[in-house]
Amino acid sequence: MQDRPLDGVRVLDLTNVLAGPYCTYHLMLLGAEVIKIEVPGRGDLARRLGPDPELNRAKLGASFLAQNAGKKSVELDLKDDRGRATFAELVTHADVLVENFRAGVLDRIGFGWERLRTLNPALVYCAISGFGQHGPMSQAPAYDQIIQGLSGMMSITGTPDTVPLRVGFPVADSVGGLSAALAISAALAGRRHDGKGRFLDVSMLEASLSAMGWAVSNYLVSGVEPEPMGDQNATAAPSGTFDAADGPLNIAANRQEQYETLCRLVGRPDLITHPDFAEREARKKNRHALNAQLNEALRCRPAGEWERILQAAGVPAARILTVAEAVAADQVTGRGFLADLAFPPGTPRSAVDRAPGGTLRVSGNGILVDGEPLTPTAPPPGLGEHNAELPELLHRWRDAGRPGLAGVPDRRR
């Protein structure tokens, strides 16, 4: 296994379900050692979430397996004196602590930021929550769908007839986790210069608004409130989903030369100079009429054939795939994005037998380091699988020295 950017970084993971585990999964892929601290007997709620009831009963739900490979699981009761003492010692030698409780929960059990930085002045503490650690909604419960609604995301997803619609995956959770991983990596980089820890307050709501990019900035800068446009692109035309002979085809001819090439290739060069379509702004204003003309021309060939023809000519175009088709695509598999792992101890035999090849397949993060994909270092852990290793782990962390000093020594495992 290649050296990874976060080799030697020690992470305490108190997170549940998706935003937090997704954050620490990225840290693990980048080389960090992640110790998942779980409630005895229960663990991460995601252990009981997923489409397979047998895996859920075994506390190995598919939702958990997807985001927790390569981590170690240790059960600690933070409401118990012994559990808190052990946790305090782990904090003393950790580089990063991540949690996604409701604001203030960790403080109420005796591990707020003041206590944490007393235990370890170099600690990077990241709190991920729906709304941030202060403000009128800081104590409100938040799930992905709640954030999607409050961010305005649902108000611009769909068409005028179908809005509001939820995005088809937990995008607010994912964006929150990515934002947290970015902030933690930045804090670790900064710590090498000054030796100081940081308290990172990540709001899923604000991270989602930031990720909405032009939809938000167009309103803030120009006062133009975005509207639902279905599969169309507000900034360009023709740009959206079109009709090939056998199904839909995405085309994004956002530049003038792309538009002109598209018109020639579909046999409609007359559209290049048509007064309703010749200029960018005219095309946006008359997009529905233009789309109708292009759809008529595109229906003569299947989507796959148009994809090859248009891409070869520099026009962005591609079929619309199902998830099953996407993960099987040569472009994805050829870069090592997916990893095959052994199932964790305790996995029901029937679940193993149903899996292709009897292995657990999980995704990476789309990053190659020196040409190599970042894949998990081990399967997802069973609940408390590493309890017995805790004394050895503490001993190793103590020997590695306190984190955070400028010129930190190499602590690679």
Which residues touch 41 (CB under 8 Å, ≥6 apart)? 75, 383
For residue 88, count other CB atoms closer than 10 A to its CB.
16
From the list 173, 194, 399, 410, the catalytic residue is 173
3-state secondary structure 362-380: EECCCCEECCEECCCCCCC
Q: Which strand (E) or helix (H) includes residue 262?
A: helix 256-265
Sheet strands side by side (includes 198-203): 72-75, 33-38, 10-13, 96-99, 124-129, 198-203
Query: What does residue 273 show for φ and ψ, rounded to 5 degrees?
Result: -105, 0
Angstrom CA distances, 280 to 82, 286, 296, 297, 368, stand at: 68, 10, 21, 20, 37
Q: How far apart are CA 394 and CA 76, in angstroms?
A: 14
What is the Cα 104 distance to its own chain's centre? 25
Distance CA 309, CA 360 (A): 37
Q: Give the three-class secondary structure for 344.
A: coil
What would the two tokens of residue 18 be?
């998706």
Q: Give me the residue label for tokens 């693990």.
A: 28
Decide: helix, strand or coil at residue 128: strand
DSSP H helical ranges for 195-227: 204-211, 214-222
User: CA–CA separation, 217 vs 252, rounded Å?
Assistant: 22
Residue 121, both tokens:
């002045």
Question: Six-digit token pair at 176?
Answer: 């929150």
Asked if 173 is an active-site residue, the reply is: yes
CA distance 52 to 40: 23
Residues that are catalytic: 173
